[in-house]
Amino acid sequence: MMADVFQQSVEYPFSTLHFGNDADRQFQAIVAIHSTALGPALGGCRLVRYTSTNAALTDVLRLAKGMTYKAAFHHLPFGGGKAVIIAPEKIRDRRDLMNAYGDFIDSLGGMFITAVDSGTGPDDMDIVAKRTKHVVCASKQFSGTGDPSPHTAKGVLRGIQAASKYLFKSDQMEGIHVLIQGVGHVGIQLVSLLKTLGAKVSVSDVNQQSIKTCQDRFEVSVVEPEEVYSTPCDVFSPCALGQIINASTAKQLKAKIVAGSANNQLLDGSYGELLRKLGILYAPDYVINSGGLLQIAYRNDQQLMAREIDRLYERLITIFEQSSRQGVSTNVIANQMAEDFLRESKLKHPLPAVHA
């Protein structure tokens, strides 16, 4: 039985919810729009198996809010939204499924711009782009921005360096032990960046093929998934799915820093405070993982993207310093920054709308 969505909105506020269903094409999807105060809602499309429709609904609502805050933190002209496609046990025709998704997005009339997320990639967005103009992350052939994962990984690296500078007084990665949970599109890019800088890298993933691909390319140690939280390291970098920091896992952590690309890493915001009390420095997820959004916003302008990704370093240092001075968690500080800008409801640096 599906939960009362208006009761859920108390914990996970939203503006509008949209449900798509096409049994012939195995298509079941939810788009959640959290806010359009700053512009059309922008968010990725997640294609994963869910245990229930309720689980999918909770996921999309949490993710949509995170996108609002991510765009507001960077003063970008986008609102926050997210899409989830509830993956069938076996997809008969992926093109047909993505065509259905493209039709669904087009029916929303531009209030939501879709992008990639877990389970989808630029090839999927190419299919969607044939059905709607309200899409990014497609290939150049469709005037898209392409794969955002390299830029997301660059932002995570800058975030790890900022946290290391703040805590260890040096942002040099030589000899720093980083344990990466999840070596998919972003995780494996992060491995490459860290290894180039001389870091010691351990990896963990439930997907053994992803582990093998990583081991074939890099010298890394492998940590079993059940030991990932209790393994000693300098930096724990969650780069898979979210809600992994809870009362149990937080107390198992042997890391001094949590800094990764996963969305919604905290089971809820209160666990940021638990990490603070445990002496673990947390880089707020929607700040450190925003490199992909910056790529989309700045339309692959290499100079602008490099500048804005580099700014993540200083902005995270500011968050860490304010957290220490005010005695509150880093995620609370990041939220305050985003909410201050949302209240202003005006843009300091207007950008062309990507859906035009």
The residues annotated as belonging to the active site are 82
Burial (CB count <10 Å: 0-12, 13-18, 19+), residue 308: buried
Q: Rounded to whole angstroms, how far apart are CA atoms 335 and 230?
A: 29
Q: Rounded to whole angstroms, how far apart are CA atoms 171 and 169?
A: 7
The token duo for 121 is: 């990639």
Pairing of strands 16-22, 27-35: antiparallel
- Closest CA relative to residue 48, chosen from 21, 29, 68: 29
| C-alpha distances out from residue 98 to 83, 124, 224, 355, Å | 13, 6, 34, 19
| C-alpha distances out from residue 83 to 3, 96, 115, 117, 181, Å | 18, 17, 9, 9, 23
Cα dihedral value 46, 343, 335, 157, nearest 10:
70
With H, G, I as helix, E, B as strand and everything else as coil, classify residue 171. Answer: coil
Q: Rounded to whole angstroms, how far apart are CA atoms 293 and 74?
A: 9
Residue 294 neighbours by CB distance under 10 Å:
25
Q: How many residues appear in the chain?
A: 356
The DSSP call for residue 86 is: E
Residue 45 pairs in a beta bridge with 83, 116
Question: Nearest 5°: CA angle at 171, between 170 and 174?
Answer: 95
64: Cα separation from own chain's centroid: 11
